[in-house]
Chain A
């Protein structure tokens, strides 16, 4: 089982460039999430999805877009990269949300630098 797979692992962007961070899970999880992790700030939720075709904003959605056309994939799009988007990005998935069986599975992260 691959679990949650994120690509790329590292990327350097120039200001104003765009890119897509890929995330795929093979556990048939309905719930998927994108977090960013900044030093000393913990994880902040960018966007999440409760199933194919359904997405919603998290705490820090500005500058990002997502789509969920399949259960497996949940790409994160940066349209006009800004230095403030320099961060480590984590994708996660879970089978359930808000109950005793809740458990998030995380990918290994994408380190993004915008220069």
Chain B
């Protein structure tokens, strides 16, 4: 079975501070991993994805994520958060040609 865990429901970060959102997965082989962002009232937008190769993946809007096989993790990072980054972030996994599975999401709040 495949599953995704996002342990943090809410995170508050000060504007300009760094950000790390956690994502842990369960899958027997190397999965395809994704981070999506959902702004209020909008659908989800792909931030970045990992399939193979370099374990540090760069995405849009200054985000990056690192795949760590030993920790079954795919944490999302940003060095300096902007107020416009306030949104809900979803980690997702696809194992081979199985269904895409989403985590429960982490809501990011940005304080002035």
Stretch among A13-21, A68-76, A78-86, A94-102 lining the B interface? A94-102
Given A98-B96, A102-B32, A102-B49, verify A40-B9 contact (CB < 8 Å): yes
On chain A, the number of residues with a Cβ less than 8 Å from chain B's Cβ atoms is 24
Which residue of the partner chain B has the closest CB to A6? B43
Size band of the B side of the interface? 20 to 34
Out of A40, A41, A104, which one reaches B46, CB within 8 Å?
A: A104
- Give the complex CA separation of A92 and B9 in angstroms: 24
Which residue of the partner chain B has the closest CB to A4? B43
- Give the complex CA separation of A35 and B102 in angstroms: 11
A42 and B102 contact, CB distance less than 8 A: yes
Residues of chain A lying within 8 A (CB to CB) of residue B104: 40-42
Tell me the smallest distance from the CB of B88 to a CB of chain A, in Å. Answer: 10
B41 within 8 A of A: yes
Residues of chain B lying within 8 A (CB to CB) of residue A109: 41-43
A34 within 8 A of B: no
- Give the complex CA separation of A41 and B41 in angstroms: 17
Interface residues of B in 63-112 (CB under 8 A from A): 90, 94, 96-97, 99-100, 102-105
Q: Which residues of chain A have a CB within 8 Å of any CB of chain B?
A: 4, 35, 40-45, 48, 58-59, 90, 92, 97-100, 102-104, 106-109
Q: Which residues of chain B have a CB within 8 Å of any CB of chain A?
A: 9, 32, 36, 41-46, 49, 51-52, 90, 94, 96-97, 99-100, 102-105
For the complex of A and B, the 9 pairs showing the least CB-CB separation, nearest first, are: A106-B43, A42-B104, A42-B102, A43-B102, A98-B97, A100-B51, A106-B44, A108-B43, A103-B46
